[in-house]
Amino acid sequence: MKNSLNLLAERASDEGLLDVAYTTADSPFGPLLLAATPRGLVRVGLPSQDASGLLADLAARVSPRVLEAAPRLDAARRQLDLYFEGKLTDFDLPLDWQLSKDFRRRVLRAIARIPYGQTRSYTQMAISAGNERAVRAAGTACGSNPIPLVVPCHRVLRSGGALGGYGGGLPMKEALLRLEGVLEDPRR
């Protein structure tokens, strides 16, 4: 049955019927959901998020032709592995931004340009997205980031340096900032 299903996913892909391919990938924080359209990575689900809910959301918002197809996510999984090992600082993956619109998308695109190991404030992100007064909306955009980790919303902090929030939970945000050398690792 497994071969049969792999073949099915392959043929669906060849015929242009695989609108959303997904797989799960291990991470130090637990399983991640990775989903891609033919255009690129469209969704990363963090361990704290309900994977079946995310898939239902993709079916409703992108296409119900959602199939498990690990090979389509090979590059993303490899790069995330290297990132968690501290061996990769810049993701090189095509992204599909369709789940974010307008101002939110501009904020997320600006976040995608924050270099590894650096942080910005929500205010700075609002300015980068072209509306310095929309700080709260910039915060909301971070919170709704459909492609966390690859679009590094964990690098956005409150103006005073407080951590702010994180979809994967604050311990994960702290751990990522320690990994990138922004926060000191107490174990060292």
Partner 1 sequence: MTELPPFQILIDEHADDVLAMLRGAVGRADADDCFQETFLSALRAYPKLSDAGNLRGWLITIAHRKAIDHHRARGRRPVPVAEVAEVAVSDPEPGDGIWAAVGALPPKQRAAVTLRYGSDLPHAEIAAALGCSPEAARRSLHEGIKRLRKELA
Q: Is residue 64 exposed (0-12), middle (13-18) or buried (19+ Cβ within 10 Å)?
A: exposed
To which residue do tokens 């939110």 refer?
104
- 103 DSSP β-pair partners: none
Of residues 64, 24, 63, the one with CA closest to residue 47? 24
Cβ count within 10 A of residue 122 = 22
Nearer to partner 1, 68 or 81 (CB): 68
Is residue 153 part of the annotated active site? The answer reads yes
Nearer to partner 1, 6 or 140 (CB): 6
- 20 DSSP β-pair partners: 66
Return residues touching partner 1 (CB under 8 A).
Answer: 1, 4-5, 7-8, 11-12, 15, 17, 20, 22, 55-56, 58-60, 63-68
**Residues 22, 73 contacting (CB under 8 angstroms):** yes
Supply the minimum distance, in Å, between the C-beta of residue 21 and partner 1.
10
Supply the minimum distance, in Å, between the C-beta of residue 77 and partner 1.
18
Q: Which residues contact 19 (CB under 8 A, 6 or more apart)?
A: 37, 38, 62, 63, 65, 66
Supply the minimum distance, in Å, between the C-beta of residue 6 and partner 1.
11
Of residues 182, 129, 178, the one with CA closest to residue 29? 178
Supply the minimum distance, in Å, between the C-beta of residue 16 and partner 1.
10
List the catalytic residue out of 36, 44, 153, 177: 153
Rounded distance between C-alpha atoms, residue 43 and residue 70, angstroms: 14
Nearer to partner 1, 12 or 112 (CB): 12
Nearer to partner 1, 7 or 170 (CB): 7
Give the residue numbers marked as catalytic. Answer: 153
